[in-house]
Amino acid sequence: MSGLLSVLRQGAQSLLAQQAYSSTVAQNLSNANTAGYARQRAELAAVTPADQYGTSFIGRGAVLQAITQSRDRFVEQQVPVALGNEARSSTQATLLKGVSALDPDAGLSDSLSNFYAQLRALAQNPGSPNVREAVVGAATRLAVSFNQTAIALDSARSGVDARLQAQLPEVNEAMAQIARLNSQISQASINGARPNDLLDARTKLVDRVASLTGARVVDNEAGDANLVLPGGTSLVQGDKAATLSAQPDPTNNGNLALWIRTPSAVAPTRLGEVPGGALGGMLDARDGAMRAAQERIDTFAFDFANAVNAVAQTGFALDGSTGRSVFSVQATVTGAARSLAIDPSLSSNASLFPAAGVAGAPGDATVVQQMIDTETQPLSSGRSAEEELASITASYGATTSRVTATAEGDGAVLKNLETLRQSASGVSVDEELVNMQRSQRAYEAVARVIKTADQMLETLLGLR
C-alpha cells in the first residue's frame, strides 16, 4: 500500500509541476505583444533522491526547479550602448536639419547679392534719387536678413533648452524607479528566486535611461543594475538615484547647463561631462554646429558692416555732409548680427547716402565704387563677404550631413541588436502553442496515473 501512496504523492507533485509549466506558457502568450517582455521558461527537473528498492531506484516524479528568462547576456550588454549612440546622433541630426536659416537659398545670400547689385546700379547713376532709395532699401533688407538669421539660430538654441528642460523629469523619474526596483529585486532574490516581471520592468527603464542619457549598466554581485554616464558619473547606485537639473550658464549666452546631484552627494554640482543619448545630442547640436554658426554670423556681420562703414565715412552726401555710416553696428562682435540696422538718417533721407569722393559732386561715384570693392576684399576670416557666407552655410551643411550619416549607421546597429534580442527573448506564439499542447498531454497522462493508482488502491482496500 505504501507503494501506491507513493505513486499518488508523486502524481500530485507532478501535476503541480505541469500546472506551473502551463501557467508559464500562458504568461508568455498573454505578453506576446508586450514591449520589454522576455520569454519565460519553466524548468522542470526530476525529484532527487529517488526511492531505493533493493538494488534499484524508483524516481519520485517531477518538480518545478525554476522559472527563468530567455535573455542573451552578450546582446543585453550591447543594447544600452547602441540605444544611447542612436539617440544621440539622431537627435542631433533632427535638430540641425530643423534650422532653415542657413540654407543656401535662404534670404541672407540673396540680400547680400542684391545689396551689391544696387551699389553697382548707383555707381552708374549716383545722382538719381530713385536709385539711392533702392540702395537704402537693399541695405535695410540686408540688415533685416542678418537679424532674422541670428534670431533663427538663437531661437533654435533656445528651443533645445526647452526640450532639454522638458526631458529631465522623465529621466529623474526613470532613475528613481530603477533604484526602487533594485531594492525590490534584491529582496525578492534573497531566497534564490528570480522575479522575472520585476527584471523586465527594470530592463525597460534601463533602456529608456540609456536612450536619454547614454548610461551604461554596471552589474554587481547583489544583482543591482547600477548606471553610470559614459564618462563615469554615477546615475544609479543600488537603491539610490541621481537627480538632474538645469541652470542658466552665463558663459554660454544664458543657455542651460546640466547639474547633477549624484546618489552619494547631498548637493548638486555642475555636470562635468556631456552625457550621451538624446540629452547629449541636444547639447551637441546647440553648442556645436548651432553655436559655431551663430558666432560666425556675428563675426561676419560685424566685419562686413564695419568694412562698408569705413568706406562710407570718407564719402559725401548730396548736401555735402560727410562722416556718415551706412549701417548701425554695435561695438562688440557677440550679438552683432541680431542688432545690425541701417543708419537712422539714411532710412529717412536717401539723399544722405555717401556716394561721392568730394563735396558738391552729385555725379561722383568714387566712394560707391570703393564700397563695391568690399565685395571681394578679405574680411578677418581671410575670405570675401560672399565666400564667408558660403563657408558658413557649407560648414553647417557638412556637419548636418555627417551627423545624419552617423545616425543612419547607429540606427542600423541598433536595429540589428533589437532583432537579435527579439530572437533570443521574444515570444513565438506558434512555439508556445506547441508547448501548451505538450503540457496538456503531460497533465492528462499524470492525471491518468493518479486515477489508475487510486483504482489499484481501492482494489487493494477491497480485499477481504
- Domain-located, residue 19: yes
Strand pairing category for 216-219 and 225-228: antiparallel
Give exposure, 267-280, as e/b (b: 16+ Cβ within 10 Å).
ebeebeebbbbbbb
Residues 6+ apart with CB under 8 A from 320: 359, 360
CA angle 204, 208, 210 (to 5 degrees): 115
Q: Where are any strands of DSSP class E within 55-167?
A: 56-58, 62-69
Q: How far apart are CA 354 and CA 346, in angstroms?
A: 10
Grid cell for residue 322: 560727410
3-class DSSP state for residue 341? strand
Check whether the bond before 49 is cis (ω within 30° of 0). yes
Instruction: Say what the pLDDT of residue 104 is.
Output: 66
Residue 441 is part of which domain span? 2-70+426-461
Which residue from 132, 145, 134 is spatially nearest to 324, judged by alpha carbons? Answer: 132
Grid cell for residue 193: 528566486
Q: How far apart are CA 256 and CA 249, in angstroms?
A: 6
Q: Which residues pair with 147 in a beta bridge?
A: none
Q: How far apart are CA 55 and CA 341, in angstroms?
A: 106
Which residue from 373, 411, 352, 341 is spatially nearest to 90, judged by alpha carbons? Answer: 411
Q: What is the pLDDT along the chain (464 residues), one digit of tens a residue?
A: 446 777 777 878 888 888 988 999 999 999 999 888 999 998 888 887 766 666 667 777 788 888 888 998 999 999 999 999 999 999 999 999 998 877 766 689 999 999 999 999 999 998 899 999 999 999 999 999 999 999 999 999 999 999 999 999 999 999 999 999 999 998 888 877 789 999 999 999 999 999 999 999 998 887 889 999 999 999 999 999 999 999 999 999 899 999 999 998 889 999 999 999 999 999 999 999 999 999 999 999 999 999 999 999 999 999 999 999 999 999 999 999 999 999 999 988 999 999 988 887 888 899 999 999 999 999 999 999 999 999 999 999 999 999 999 999 999 999 999 999 999 999 999 999 999 999 889 888 888 888 887 788 778 777 75
3-class DSSP state for residue 219? strand
Q: How far apart are CA 431 and CA 444, in angstroms?
A: 20
Grid cell for residue 7: 505513486
Grid cell for residue 41: 521558461
Instruction: Say what the pLDDT of residue 101 is.
Output: 79
Which residue from 147, 143, 153 is spatially nearest to 111, judged by alpha carbons? Answer: 143
- Domain-located, residue 36: yes
- Domain-located, residue 443: yes
- Domain-located, residue 255: no
Q: How many structural domains are present in the chain?
A: 1
Q: Which residues pair with 41 in a beta bridge?
A: 68
Determine contact, residues 72/420, Cβ cutoff 8 Å.
yes
- Domain-located, residue 301: no
pTM check: above 0.75? yes
Instruction: Say what the pLDDT of residue 1 is.
Output: 46
- Domain-located, residue 368: no
The H or E element containing residue 49 is none
